[in-house]
Amino acid sequence: MSETLEAPAMRTTEAPPIVEARGVSRRFAKTLDFAAKLARRLGVKVREEVVHAVDGVDLAIRRGEVVGLVGESGCGKSTLGRMIAGILPPSDGVILSHGRDLRSLDGPEARRVKLATQMIFQDPYASLNPRLKVEEIVGEAPLVHGLARRSELAAYVDEQLRRAGLDPALKKRYPHQFSGGQRQRIGIARALAVQPDFLVCDEAVAALDVSIQAQILNLFMKLRKELDLTYLFISHDLGVVEHLSDRVVIMYLGRVVEEAPAEEVFRSPNHPYTQALLAEVPRIDARKRSFAGVQGEIPSPLNPPSGCHFHPRCPHAMERCKLERPALKAIAPGRRSACHLNDLA
């Protein structure tokens, strides 16, 4: 176990982005029901409730990178991940996958670009069809997309399963016959069966026990090295993100608040929210410490605070923070932060 699974080489600056989000927003509106529409016609003030799940996010992921996307529940990290994976269209903005705008593509080309990005989901119990055998789950997509011929399919599936650390002898079984960790391996084998180069992992280890989580994290790192994969790793667990990522993006209420190389952000966080978040993470090497807790609740994304979303909980909030949305600005090479305090320095 002496070999390190470090990145093949940190190609952070020169490599072109494999996926890029430009000014991406996503709104979810709760449409009014009949009674509410009627009430509105009668002059009662009711309006549609709109959640700004993701609000004007720019993000570029370069080939070969592992980007960790961190935030608390409701911050829009899963929505952003789904848009980047191409399974949810943005309300505004553009997603460029392999340099191409996903919306402008159709036909075989769209299929090819979309196949190159695959997603791994949190819940290994809900993301596998319970009525299909493992070999069908893993083999269906490569067959449909012509990546494997029917005559070679069995061998192809075996290879995928073996790579994900599963015994091919188990391929006639159904998902319910597997444990959580093994199911997550099936999900990984399924994603890799269409030969993607970019994986979006949405809380992929959150539902697993610690010892199983370690196995899956090791598998992710091994596959990255073997297949030269790029990851967007979405997680609320800062320990996992720190362990795995080259670069970390932190979101709060639909916006990116900070973006930096992993080492730097954990050593010297810039944004007050990042600082608070890191201070609260329990660490196995921090003994009998006293917890303080960030003041206040996470506001509802239905009605986010004005200006900087974090200002009601921020210990450094100024008048300006209530009025003006801070822009995500470069504060050092490779580091961006959205905080008005950086203008004071």
Partner 1 sequence: MTPPTLEVRNLRTHFFTRAGVVKAVDDVSFTVERGKVLGLVGESGSGKTVTGFSILGLVDPPGRITGGQILFKGTDLATLSEAQMRDLRGNRIAMIFQDPMMTLNPVLRIDTQMIETVLAHARVSRAEARQRARDALGQVGIPSPEERLAAYPHQFSGGMRQRVAIAIALLHKPDLIIADEPTTALDVTIQGQILAEAQKLCTQYGTALIWITHDLSVVAGLADDIAVMYAGKVAESGPVSEVLDAPLHPYTRGLIGSVPSRNHRGAPLSQIPGMTPSLLNLPPGCAFRARCPRAEARCAEPPPFAEYLPGRHARCIHPHLAEVAAA
Binding site for partner 1 (CB under 8 A): 1, 3-7, 72-73, 179, 181-182, 209-215, 217-218, 221, 236, 238-240, 242-244, 262-263, 266, 276-277, 279-294, 297-298
Which CB contacts under 8 angstroms, 24+ apart, belong to 107-111?
111/145
Residue closer to partner 1, measured from CB, 156 or 233: 233
Q: Rounded to the nearest whole angstrom, what is the least distance from the CB of residue 153 to partner 1 in the complex?
A: 29
Distance CA 329, CA 320 (A): 16
Q: Is 166 helix (H, G, I), strand (E, B) or coil?
A: coil
Do the bridges between strand 66-70 and strand 230-235 make them parallel or antiparallel, or are there none, so unpaired? parallel
Q: Rounded to the nearest whole angstrom, what is the least distance from the CB of residue 149 to partner 1 in the complex?
A: 35
Q: Rounded to the nearest whole angstrom, what is the least distance from the CB of residue 194 to partner 1 in the complex?
A: 27
Nearest to 157 by CA among 145, 146, 143: 143
Distance CA 61, CA 19 (A): 5
- In the block, tokens 């893993």 appear at 138
Q: Rounded to the nearest whole angstrom, what is the least distance from the CB of residue 152 to partner 1 in the complex?
A: 31
Q: Rounded to the nearest whole angstrom, what is the least distance from the CB of residue 281 to partner 1 in the complex?
A: 6
DSSP assigned state of 182? H
Q: Is 232 helix (H, G, I), strand (E, B) or coil?
A: strand
Q: Is 37 helix (H, G, I), strand (E, B) or coil?
A: helix
Q: Rounded to the nearest whole angstrom, what is the least distance from the CB of residue 171 to partner 1 in the complex?
A: 19
Residue closer to partner 1, measured from CB, 117 or 235: 235
* Strands across the sheet containing 255-261: 117-120, 198-202, 230-235, 66-70, 247-252, 255-261, 335-337, 329-332
Nearest to 90 by CA among 140, 46, 150, 25: 25
Residue closer to partner 1, measured from CB, 23 or 296: 296
Q: In degrees to the nearest 10, what's the CA dihedral of 86, 233, 282, 6?
A: -170
Q: Rounded to the nearest whole angstrom, what is the least distance from the CB of residue 250 to partner 1 in the complex?
A: 12
Residue closer to partner 1, measured from CB, 97 or 184: 184
What's the angle, vertex CA 212, arms to CA 264 and CA 136, rounded to 5?
110
Under 8 Å between Cβ of 294 and 276 = yes
Residue closer to partner 1, measured from CB, 191 or 262: 262
Q: Rounded to the nearest whole angstrom, what is the least distance from the CB of residue 286 to partner 1 in the complex?
A: 5
Residue closer to partner 1, measured from CB, 169 or 284: 284
- In the block, tokens 């952070």 appear at 12
Q: Rounded to the nearest whole angstrom, what is the least distance from the CB of residue 283 to partner 1 in the complex?
A: 5
Residue closer to partner 1, measured from CB, 108 or 239: 239
Residue closer to partner 1, measured from CB, 118 or 213: 213
Residue closer to partner 1, measured from CB, 117 or 213: 213
Do the bridges between strand 255-261 and strand 247-252 make them parallel or antiparallel, or are there none, so unpaired? antiparallel
